[in-house]
Amino acid sequence: MKRILPAVLLICAILTCAVSAAFVSPDFEGGMISGIWLDGGTLYAADIQNKVVWRVRDGEAAVLAGDRSYRDASGVVFPDYFDAALTEARFAEPWAIVPFLEGWAVSDAGSNTVRYIAGGKVMTAAGKREAGFLDGFCTDARLSRPTGLARDDEGGLYIADTGNGAIRRLDTEGNLTTVRTGLQGPTGLCWHDGALYIAETGRSRILRLEGNKLEVLAGDGGEMDEYGVYGCGYADGPAASALFEHPQGVAVSDDGTVYIADTGNGAVRRLMDGRVSTMAVTSEDDLLLASPQGILVSGNSILVSDSLTGAIMEFDTRIHRFSDVSEKVWYAPSVREALIRGIIDGGSDTFRPNDPMTRMDFVRMLANLQLSLNGSTVINGSFSFTDVGDETPFAAVARWSGDFGIITGKTTGEFAGDEPIQRQQMVAILYRFITISEMDNVPSGDLSAFTDGDRTSRYARDAMVWAVSRGIINGFPDGSLDPFGGATRAQAVKMIVYFMDMYGF
């Protein structure tokens, strides 16, 4: 049975943009797909459940290597280690697959070895069944639960020696050496432009190793706790403050963008221009993306395997373009940034930049901002507005804003989501967001420099002073502030992006 698996770009129920995947993922017969590799039109997949390596051509999967006929009483394939002809060999836990020499290297985590497929046979390239830590020639060397693999420009094979917290390298002559130690459970690897990219699962970080220089690209696992465990979480934003939960896959495109299988969060993340954003995350509506593990770049797409669901998904990596937003207009950079950061939805062909920003759409952007700060936030609540019922399209956002304290409703108790938002309302909402987040919000100065500054409503005066002093909102050439005036969608998006950059979101 063939399945076309949709690549669903979901950030909870707030920002949705479904894209149909062109890649056809066959039925792997209950398999749990880990590492994947695409060679031309042929896909190779390591299956940790069936203990085999699959080859997929024209949508049809066939076993390339491994014998799954040995099963226990419950029907589960028995993990084993046996070198032999392709379909007679046995694997304990095939984890990753990459081209190597004249064939394929497969990390067999369960047998503490790296296997080699070539000439119709499965052989052992490095390690023995007994775990250990020893450099040496081929099977004289020792490994402990090797997982990720990457081939460098010289044909050498980098190995994530997960159990030893090390990076090892197997050269083309069969010699295994140690490249780096002291890591916490490294898994996914990718070689790009002279550097090795590492998913350091134990510390929930993404690393870059070039020569002897090790750089933390993104993630902050904090300090080890009393149980020997580092912190993790789910937050987009500047790379240094972004949070992951035990990522196990990493891939890099030609332009240097880093794509991450954030396994523990059930998410696919992107590191670009020093910022981390979410491309897709698991949801109650679509459970194909539950535990992403393998990830690779293919043209303008990435392929992602999920070890829990057995699915392989394809995601378009191109940034959406609105037909009514020219690259030359003043707000184009802000619209692009808002798309990348998940603040606005790319599901429509048009952005309507000159339309009035409504109360609903502004609060929706702020909810997406909250999700970028803490992806585990539930955008919903119990707050009651007189004009918001369960069937209201933006009900979850409205209730969240009420519970969170950023929208108190009009004097009539209405949310009034379809009404154009006033300039003073926008800054008041942002001011409450900052106040509740316990960040710097002390207003300084006054509004006397504006001809109509004293017209600002009492509830918004401190917020307006704060916003003006920080350049979040500016006056007009005639000296007015126009607190009751509206804002276009383009103006509101530029304000949100400026606000995010000011506070390091």
pLDDT for residue 360: 95
pLDDT in tens, 198-232: 999 999 999 999 999 999 999 987 777 777 778 78
Cβ 134 vs Cβ 178: under 8 Å: no
pLDDT for residue 306: 94
pLDDT for residue 284: 65
Q: Which stretches of the chain drop beneath a pLDDT of 50?
A: 1-22, 24
How far is the C-alpha of 334 from the C-alpha of 434, rounded, in Å?
Answer: 21
Helix (H, G, I), strand (E, B) or coil at 433: helix
Cβ 337 vs Cβ 294: under 8 Å: no
Q: What are phi and psi of 391, to 5 degrees?
A: -85, -5
pTM attached to this predicted model:
0.91
Compute CA distances 391 → 95, 360, 394, 395, whole Å: 46, 15, 9, 7
Q: What are phi and psi of 262, to 5 degrees?
A: -85, 85
β-strand pairing of 292-298 with 157-161: unpaired
Q: Which of 248, 190, 178 is nearest to 219 (CA)?
A: 248
How far is the C-alpha of 301 from the C-alpha of 21, rounded, in Å?
Answer: 10
Half-sphere exposure of 145 (CA within 13 A, CB side): 9
How far is the C-alpha of 162 from the C-alpha of 52, rounded, in Å?
Answer: 21
How far is the C-alpha of 159 from the C-alpha of 150, rounded, in Å?
Answer: 7
Helix (H, G, I), strand (E, B) or coil at 217: strand
